[in-house]
Amino acid sequence: MSTSTGPIDLPDWAWERAEVREALRARDMGAVFRHVQQYSGASQARIAATVGMTQARVNEVINGRREVTRLAVYERIAEGLLMPDDARHLLGLAASRERSRGGAAFDLAAFPEVVRVYEAQASAAEEIQQNARCAEELDILAVRGLGLIGLNDSLLRSTCLPLEQGGKGLRVRVALLDPDGEALKQRAAEIGESAESLASGVRLAEARLRELHTEGCDVAVFRYKMLPTWRLIRTDGTHFVGAFDAGWEGHESATYKVMATPHGPLFRGFRRMFEAVLAEAQRTV
């Protein structure tokens, strides 16, 4: 392979992979180099030329015989691999923009918690399912949740099945709008649906989730009473966020992929909001 000394430019999705982000958090440069080989096809010689090491040193790092500990070396690696600022933060480095620009304000691109925006949930469906298949925890904040988890062909139903039924056995928490509350009546009026129909949908989703619980799935269901604003799907360290409004249903909203970062407030804020909703909600399953 080529031993060009130019930077190695990985596709954006490679830096979003959970295993790559975990390696960066752990400052495991051996794992990072292995992922670079996997996603770029670069040889050890190519990596060495790019990050200012010898090939022998890169080989030692990859095989766990030597660790990288010096900040200057992390910086060389980040520059040689053209790490985006989010990846730099996971590694404990300042964003490239922070080094060249001062002031109290900062460019939002330096803290890319929102790593992707989809036109609607349907456009994000494949990635949401893929994330759920790899996750240990799944949180859902919805109105009735039938299209997400309530029906057999729902987006996330198969990932929530018990292990003996082919599922992953992950922990699931679902918050649905209280079918007996005033907020449901208001939401029904907003979308031009009868309160009875909307409430029936919530109760159906709840009943189907109770079946999963009875069959051995680790699922908890809650009823919240506030007017729905955010629609959340959390798979471990990733949120898929949409919004409810008088003009559209949650699945019709643009869907934002928000990932946990060391310095960003969005993921933490949505996580905190979900926990606050559960704290005020009534558990029914």
Is residue 203 within 8 A of residue 180, CB to CB? The reply is: no
DSSP string across the chain: -----SPP---HHHHHSHHHHHHHHTT-HHHHHHHHHHHH---HHHHHHHHT--HHHHHHHHTTSS----HHHHHHHHHHTT--HHHHHHHTPPPHHHHH--SS---GGGS--EEEEESSHHHHHHHHHHHHHH-SEEEEE-SS-IIIIISTTSTTTGGGS-GGGT----EEEEEEE-TTSHHHHHHHHHHT--HHHHHHHHHHHHHHHHHHHHTT--EEEEEE-SPP-EEEEEETTEEEEEE-BTTB-GGGS-EEEEE--SS-SHHHHHHHHHHHHHHHSEE--
pLDDT in tens, 189-225: 999 999 999 999 999 999 999 998 888 889 999 999 9
- Would residue 70 be called left, alpha or beta, if left means φ above 0 and alpha means ψ between -120 and 50 degrees? beta
What structural domains and CATH numbers belong to the chain?
Answer: 12-94 (1.10.260.40), 114-283 (3.30.870.10)
Per-residue pLDDT, averaged over 66-91, amounts to: 89
Pairing of strands 137-141, 230-235: antiparallel
pLDDT-wise least confident of 125-139, 199-213, 253-267: 253-267
Place of tokens 């494949």: 126
pLDDT tens digits for 111-124? 568 888 899 999 99
Q: How far is CA 197 from CA 127, 188, 193, 202, in A?
A: 31, 8, 7, 9
pLDDT tens figures, 9-44: 898 888 988 899 889 988 999 999 999 999 999 999
Instruction: Share the mean pLDDT of the chain.
Output: 88
Identify the band that residue 101 occupies on the pLDDT scale cut at 50, 70 and 90: very low
**pLDDT tens-digit readout, 150-192:** 888 899 988 877 666 566 678 999 999 999 999 999 999 999 9
According to the model, what pLDDT value does residue 244 have? 93
The one-letter code for the residue type at 266 is: L
At 1 the pLDDT is 41
pLDDT confidence bin for 5, thresholds 50/70/90: low
pLDDT attached to residue 72 = 86
Residue 71: predicted pLDDT: 85
